[in-house]
Amino acid sequence: MGIVRHSRCAAVDWLTGGPIAPHADAIKQHFVDGRYASTTIASYLIDIAHFARWARSKRLGLRRIDEASVIEFLDQHLPHCRCEGSVRHDRCDHRAALGHLLFVLRAQGAIASPAKSVTAVDEELRRFDAHMDRVRGLVPKTRAGVLRVVGRLLRQRFGSGCVDIALIKPTHVRRFYAQQAALHSKPGGAGSVVAALHSYLRYRTSLGDQVHGLVGVVSAPANWRLSTLPKELTDQEVEQLVTFLGQPGH
């Protein structure tokens, strides 16, 4: 616990002293409004403070903070980080935290809008991925599979436009599921589509969206299995079978 308290104080110091200082309160409020756990907020602030410290050492102005600078930090600084004090080095955690940082700075009008290649769907998937990672603790491989399915649904419905969950209707989900289920020859494959959709809808429910009418639209397909048959029968079992088949009605 001492390390967490020390790291949190360090995070506050760097947030209030670096290039993002004017927006430190907005960043904290963003996590509070999102109802993130206190431990998650503390971890994200530590990661953002780590980036702010690096940005200050590189003399990056606020306007130069964008996806490119985040990638430079993750690819060049983080793997070889020798920063003093209690810092973290988890790439996935830093990437999620810095994604929130860019979102807040853009909401504040502090930095330019993202490049056209970064769509609203991309941002939605990034936030959902962070939720699966930090809140549900899902491994990268599982998250990647879920994101593929959810990404197809959102891009099919919204393209490069804004994501408005209220505009997703039961008919859209049924049509999408039918399309995706047709791609799988086994019930288990279609079941993974259902699991991914339910996971996303639970996430949106946690944010306060009224999506209960969509949850029951699709259900996992039945996956019946035949009982295991014996590979061979004994002489007595063969005789019993023949006798049974010879009875009237069989």
First and final CA of the chain: distance in angstroms? 74
Q: Is the dihedral of CA 87, 91, 92, 98 positive or negative?
A: positive
The last residue of a domain, from among 86, 118, 150? 118
**pLDDT value for 2:** 34
| 64/155 Cα distance (integer angstroms) | 29
1 pLDDT more than 80: no
SS3 86: coil
238 pLDDT more than 80: no
Do 79 and 127 reside in the same domain of the chain?
no
Give the residue among 87, 91, 23, 2 at the shortest CA–CA distance from 49: 87
The last residue of a domain, from among 118, 138, 161? 118
119 pLDDT more than 60: yes
Look up residue 103 and give its amino acid: F
**pLDDT value for 27:** 92
- How many Cα atoms are found within 13 Å in the side-chain-facing hemisphere of 18? 25
| 184/192 Cα distance (integer angstroms) | 10
Weakest mean pLDDT among 1-5, 86-90, 161-165: 1-5
Q: Look at residue 57 and tell me if it is in a domain.
A: yes
Do 63 and 152 reside in the same domain of the chain?
no
Do 1 and 60 reside in the same domain of the chain?
yes
Q: What is the pLDDT of residues 180-212, one digit of tens each?
A: 877 766 656 678 888 999 999 999 988 888 887
SS3 50: helix
Do 53 and 85 reside in the same domain of the chain?
yes
Do 139 and 85 reside in the same domain of the chain?
no
- Cα separations in angstroms, 112 against 103, 115, 133, 240: 11, 9, 27, 81
The last residue of a domain, from among 118, 134, 164? 118
Q: Look at residue 234 and tell me if it is in a domain.
A: no
Mean pLDDT score, 9-36 = 78
- Cα separations in angstroms, 120 against 40, 145, 155: 24, 20, 10
Which residue segment(s) compose the domain that 44 sits in? 1-118
**Residue 54: how many CB atoms within 10 A of its CB?**
21
